Amino acid sequence: MATTHESTDPTLLYPTTSKKSLLDKDYQKNAKPDKSWSHKSRDFLHWIFTPLGFCITIYGLNVIAWGGMLFLLMCNAAPAMCHPDCNSLNSSRRIWIEIDSQILNALFCVTGLGLAPWRLRDLYFWALWRLGWSEKRQTKGLNRLAQIHGKWFLLDCTSQSVLPTSTTLKVPCTPLWKMDAVVWGNILNTVFQICLATCMWVMNRFNRPSWTTGLFVCLACLVAGVAGVVMWLEKRRLQKANEQYKETTPLVSRPGSLDSTSSERELVRRGG
């Protein structure tokens, strides 16, 4: 009895499916990340030992350590430092409050002033978008912002934007007011940080009003927090939609095959 051999070219077996789409669907099916804590911890440790991860970790630990010390001093957690009394300008408590405040101010200047050039760039494109005198300039400004913030901002396809996720993914576009909130939140964070640094460096602890430090610290943290939360929520929404798309996308299975993934890989390898 003669044995018939099936064609090994996947484009002949599945006329409507290309080799690239087979590989893409195979990758989407098998690229689902592990949700275990051990896997997340291992990835986090690997990230810490990268240059960027190491710098961010050291920066965050300094903010937490000096901020925690300042909080404890403000709560009078060290009575031994209150000599002759807790509110005396010459007491160890008030001296260390000043030292902690200056260190925290310098740490906040790293982000508030260090990121100022990129924030001013975003403000420039925002001005083109919102204040441009022609539709072409407005479209250019919005599209440039969408490209810069492509990890969390999804613009309407009719605006010729670069989508951060699959172009076949049907998810609501990001409201434009969120871009306004992020751009102005970052700019105001820089402005309030400049005000805080001016008060901390121009005046000393003897003539500086106590309300200035608390006011500008709260305002700077508030606007930066709003911008950060908006970006985080929007990025999380797009990631969930992308994962749902990958999970619901069916693989093109070979008739009579028990393992469609293995068969597709073999077909593509032979046919390529």
Domain identity same for 165 and 144: yes
pTM of the model: 0.72
Q: What are the tens digits of pLDDT across the range 146-197?
A: 999 999 999 864 443 444 444 455 678 899 999 999 999 999 999 999 999 9
> 65, 82, 112 — which closes off a domain?
112
Q: Are residues 131 and 241 in the same domain?
A: yes
* Nearest by Cα to 168 from 237, 249, 250: 249
Distances (CA, A) of 235 to 52, 111, 152: 21, 21, 4
Tokens 């409050």 belong to which residue? Answer: 97
Q: What is the CA radius of gyration of the chain?
A: 28
How many other C-beta atoms lie within 10 A of the C-beta of residue 96? 16
Q: Give the chain's residues under pLDDT 70.
A: 1-35, 156-170, 245-272
Domain count, the chain: 2
Cα distance from N-terminal residue to C-terminal residue, the chain: 31
Q: Structural domain of residue 89, as residue ranges?
A: 36-112
Q: Report how far residue 38's alpha carbon sits from residue 41's, in angstroms, rounded to the nearest whole number.
A: 5
The pLDDT score that the predictor gives to residue 170 is 63
Cβ 108 vs Cβ 196: under 8 Å: yes
Q: Dump pLDDT digits (tens) for 129-145.
A: 999 899 999 999 999 99
Instruction: Give residues with Cβ within 8 angstroms of 210, minimum separation 6.
Output: none
Longest CA pairwise span in the chain (Å) = 107
Domain boundary residue, one of 67, 82, 112: 112
**pLDDT of res. 109:** 95
Hey, is 165 helix, strand or coil?
Answer: coil
181 in a structural domain: yes
Looking at the structure, tell me whether residues 126 and 87 fall in a common domain: no
**Same domain as 161, residue 124:** yes
Is residue 125 domain-shared with residue 225, that is, in the same domain? yes
- Tell me which amino acid residue 239 is: Q
Helix (H), strand (E) at residue 23? helix 19-30
Q: Is residue 23 part of a domain?
A: no
- Decide which of 71, 88, 112 is a domain's last residue: 112
Both structure tokens of 79: 């009575």
Whether residues 129 and 232 share a domain: the answer is yes
Domain shared by 108 and 125, yes or no:
no
> pLDDT at position 250, please?
54
- Do residues 126 and 102 share a domain? no
Run of H or E including 143: helix 135-148
The verdict on residue 194 lying in a domain is yes
Verify that 62 and 122 share a domain, yes or no: no
Sign for the CA dihedral angle at 185, 191, 193, 199 comes to negative
Is 258 inside any structural domain? no
Q: Distance between CA 166 and CA 179 in Å, rounded?
A: 21
Q: Are residues 138 and 190 in the same domain?
A: yes
Q: Which residue is associated with the tokens 């090994």?
A: 8
Same domain (yes/no): 103, 208: no
Spell out the SS3 assignment of 47-99: HHCCHHHHHHHHHHHHHHHHHHHHHHHHCCCCHHHCCCCCCCCCCHHHHHHHH
Residue 231 C-alpha from the chain's centroid? 6
**247 in the same domain as 132:** yes
